[in-house]
A and B are shown apart, each in its own frame.
Chain A
């Protein structure tokens, strides 16, 4: 059926009682705010348990109580955050059922059984959390501690399934199976057929990784606040270390996030090329320039935090002269990545530009250049981590020099592969060029993997050049962690707008048209105001949650006896 006919059919449909109105701000804005903040809290309550269970495991298997206390401190915050998630979720459901009743009826006609499962799992998840938190001190030793850790894993399992179910609803809206048309009776659609749509699994994977990033960033922001508010050096040292751990987890997961994004993008293109083109080259094309800017901020700020952190590590002065070169690579990479290229332009704009592309920037704005830039930025960030890791260590294994040369060679080879395919991409067809990005990604990931393995083996029995002076960080390093948390949250809002906005005037892509007065998809300027508002509300509530957490119980921080921590 042609799109023209689809539109006529939809327009002819009776739209009375299809939409409600919300006072003052309007129906769409209400749904936008409730959905966005619910999702941010949901990411928080999914990301932080992942963080908590990993740090608890490090505490158990590394016999380091600091990690156990860190884990508990965050689980305490989850209790209030769960309530906030549920409240915003309820507001969203009430909003959908009263402001978009016809659309909601359509969705429930297909997904009702999964909605009951969702509610049931949320129930299990909540009680698992209560057991996990309140049983912390009771099941603290031996086998009981392992059972307690298993509860943490179970908490993550429930949470992940809950997220997968919710993802199936929103991905169905994006990419309903092709045999479903506007005339398909929703009650005849098989549940699994609707769930397993084209973008479901890519979104699932992307969100799992993004939640880890988000959890780490929020932990970092919390730690930085406590660092700035600390009254003693010991307390400051503890929260400095916590901030480092949060940032490390966030940046590590961020490195693999673009690859999940590529997969999602490819699936969108394969599902519907016009949707993909709308996303990357249509009215949303400028959004990716903003995204590039935000990711540049993340890379630069994350590296900046590490470089400042090297000031508290004896021995790091050996590596500090190199940071300026790393900065140059990152800035150049960010400039290339943010170069506009395939933008919607009218005849006047094209005439003003002197052609379809800028004579110089046109060459830098293509994917060959951008993929090369982002891969080199990832390699550079990894190198920053490596230098930080090795700052106060001198390897003593007999093959240390050879190992370092091999590591350097791996960096050089990976960078050469990235550059080779980046340049070669200019001389081949688009379909071949797209395949090159896989080689670039594999080169970078292989380098990260093998260099890390060598580094871990080389660090065995390494001579210490001095203990890390936790807490000896200037306040600007902590403000950098705040910028990271705000940027991650804003980026989440932006990408949510991209994912949802590419449906344009469809509730369900080419199946159910939005015939409300809010059907037009707003421009990025308006969207940015909504995103900033949502981020502000969310961060204010998170600050309140942190404050409540502080009221409920004193910090789990216990003053260390003896010298500062050595490990990372």
Chain B
């Protein structure tokens, strides 16, 4: 019986050893706690690139979608023959240099949707600090292009997205700046606010949250205005479980004219 017992112990230990060995042979990725990134006034492009690479591969979570080519465009090697992002970023939008384009892509990700991809990217200026954002831009520029981000691009203090010194109209989301540079074009506001990441409107966007195509038949302008300012004020039937997902900050991220334009625009969608 001892021989049988030893065989059983051997099988148990052997099985555990095989599983442990395999798990240790695959690439080891640890989820780090995000650290505050502090960059001095004399930060060099190399330091920015190195810091940006860490953010890109770590807390930024960029590699989850980018670089793989399935959920989002490949930024690091090649995207359908157009080269890495540093090569192509300056050619993406007429009149915008690489730095401007990359900043706006991070601040208003739904503004430029590459054909074939869904508008799933979160607003990164809400997720990362300005220093992190600009270091990521430097890193992306370094992928086949020239790094022209400097310390002067990084605001001294800004809790949320800064106004880019090189971005026309800025992309500010906080501190009194408004979506889409203060434009009262409802479609520009919707694009800048990323509404279609969750809502559907006129055949575009996602169906996570209620379809807004006929929202005017359910809510009047006052109700829509109230809902934007206080998303928890009323919850659409069937979406109770998603209560609380809609950001409560839209009211502080657009000016009164924008809010009114948006409410009227949606109310007209009968």
In contact, A229 and B77 (Cβ under 8 angstroms): no
Partner of A486, one of B15, B26, B67, B71: B15
In contact, B34 and A281 (Cβ under 8 angstroms): no
Which of B91-99, B123-131, B179-187 lies at the interface with chain A?
B123-131
Q: Total number of A-B contacts with CB less than 8 angstroms?
A: 174
Which of A52-60, A133-141, A271-279, A413-421 lies at the interface with chain B?
A271-279
In contact, B24 and A274 (Cβ under 8 angstroms): no
Q: A178-B244, A286-B27, A524-B26 are in contact. Are A347 and B20 (CB under 8 A)?
A: no
Check: A294 CB closer than 8 A to any chain B CB: yes
Q: A342-B68, A535-B16 are in contact. Are A283 and B4 (CB under 8 A)?
A: no
Partner of B16, one of A177, A273, A274, A536: A536
Check: A454 CB closer than 8 A to any chain B CB: no
Check: B215 CB closer than 8 A to any chain A CB: no
In contact, B69 and A351 (Cβ under 8 angstroms): no
Which of A93-101, A374-382, A515-523 lies at the interface with chain B?
A515-523
Check: B236 CB closer than 8 A to any chain A CB: no
Interface centre among B4, B33, B248, B249 (most CB of A within 10 A): B33
Q: How many residues of A contact B (CB 8 A)?
A: 71
Check: B63 CB closer than 8 A to any chain A CB: yes
Distance, CA A21 to CA B120, complexed state (A): 41
Which of B5-13, B102-110, B217-225 lies at the interface with chain A?
B5-13
- B159: A residues at CB distance < 8 A: 2, 4-5, 8
Q: A178-B244, A281-B64, A357-B69 are in contact. Are A274 and B122 (CB under 8 A)?
A: yes
- B17: A residues at CB distance < 8 A: 532
Check: B213 CB closer than 8 A to any chain A CB: no
- B34: A residues at CB distance < 8 A: 7, 505
Partner of A345, one of B7, B68, B128, B232: B68
Q: A278-B61, A344-B63, A483-B15 are in contact. Are A356 and B29 (CB under 8 A)?
A: no
Which residue from chain A places its CB closest to the CB of B207 in the assembled complex?
Answer: A431
In contact, B63 and A345 (Cβ under 8 angstroms): yes
Q: A5-B160, A281-B64 are in contact. Are A505 and B31 (CB under 8 A)?
A: yes
Which residue from chain B places its CB closest to the CB of A7 in the assembled complex?
Answer: B34
In contact, B20 and A529 (Cβ under 8 angstroms): yes
Which residue from chain B places its CB closest to the CB of A3 in the assembled complex?
Answer: B127
Partner of B76, one of A347, A487, A523: A347
Check: A14 CB closer than 8 A to any chain B CB: no
Distance, CA A535 to CA B63, complexed state (A): 33
In contact, B23 and A528 (Cβ under 8 angstroms): yes
In contact, B19 and A520 (Cβ under 8 angstroms): no
- B243: A residues at CB distance < 8 A: 177-179
In contact, B65 and A281 (Cβ under 8 angstroms): yes
In contact, A490 and B19 (Cβ under 8 angstroms): yes
In contact, B65 and A277 (Cβ under 8 angstroms): yes
Partner of A523, one of B30, B74, B244: B30
Check: B237 CB closer than 8 A to any chain A CB: no
In contact, B129 and A356 (Cβ under 8 angstroms): no
Produce 1/0 per residue, B243-266, CB < 8 A to A. 111001100000000000000000
In contact, A356 and B67 (Cβ under 8 angstroms): yes
Partner of A282, one of B23, B64, B74: B64
Interface centre among B8, B31, B61, B64 (most CB of A within 10 A): B31
- B12: A residues at CB distance < 8 A: 482, 486, 536, 539
Distance, CA A504 to CA B128, complexed state (A): 17
Interface residues of B in 121-146 (CB under 8 A from A): 122, 126-129, 143
- B69: A residues at CB distance < 8 A: 355-357
In contact, B33 and A347 (Cβ under 8 angstroms): no
Interface centre among B28, B242, B249 (most CB of A within 10 A): B28
Check: A270 CB closer than 8 A to any chain B CB: yes
In contact, A4 and B128 (Cβ under 8 angstroms): yes
Interface residues of A in 261-313 (CB under 8 A from B): 270, 273-274, 277-278, 281-283, 286, 289-290, 293-294
Check: B153 CB closer than 8 A to any chain A CB: no
Partner of B126, one of A4, A180, A343: A4
Check: A62 CB closer than 8 A to any chain B CB: no
Check: A1 CB closer than 8 A to any chain B CB: yes
Produce 1/0 per residue, A39-77, CB < 8 A to B. 000000000000000000000000000000000000000
Partner of A356, one of B1, B22, B74, B122: B74
Q: A520-B31, A532-B20 are in contact. Are A281 and B160 (CB under 8 A)?
A: no
Distance, CA A122 to CA B4, complexed state (A): 38
Q: How far is the CB of A58 from chain B (nearest CB, A)?
A: 29
- A526: B residues at CB distance < 8 A: 28
Q: A281-B71, A525-B23, A528-B24 are in contact. Are A479 and B7 (CB under 8 A)?
A: yes
In contact, A290 and B16 (Cβ under 8 angstroms): no
Q: A179-B243, A347-B76 are in contact. Are A289 and B26 (CB under 8 A)?
A: yes
Distance, CA A554 to CA B22, complexed state (A): 41
- B126: A residues at CB distance < 8 A: 2-4
Produce 1/0 per residue, A333-371, CB < 8 A to B. 000000000111111001100011100000000100000
Q: A228-B4, A281-B64, A430-B118 are in contact. Are A179 and B232 (CB under 8 A)?
A: yes
Which residue from chain B places its CB closest to the CB of A178 in the assembled complex?
Answer: B244
Distance, CA A162 to CA B241, complexed state (A): 24
Check: A198 CB closer than 8 A to any chain B CB: yes
- A430: B residues at CB distance < 8 A: 118
A-B contact pairs, 27 of them (CB 8 A): A1-B248, A5-B160, A7-B34, A177-B244, A225-B8, A277-B64, A278-B31, A278-B64, A282-B31, A283-B30, A289-B26, A293-B22, A342-B71, A343-B27, A345-B68, A346-B63, A350-B76, A355-B78, A482-B11, A483-B15, A486-B15, A487-B19, A514-B33, A521-B30, A522-B30, A523-B29, A524-B23
**Chain A residues in contact with chain B, CB under 8 A?**
1-5, 7-8, 11, 177-180, 198, 225, 228-229, 270, 273-274, 277-278, 281-283, 286, 289-290, 293-294, 342-347, 350-351, 355-357, 366, 429-431, 475, 479, 482-483, 486-487, 490, 501, 504-505, 514, 519-529, 531-532, 535-536, 539
Further contacts, 10 of them, CB under 8 A, given A483-B11, A525-B23: A4-B159, A5-B160, A178-B242, A179-B232, A479-B8, A482-B8, A486-B12, A521-B31, A531-B20, A532-B16
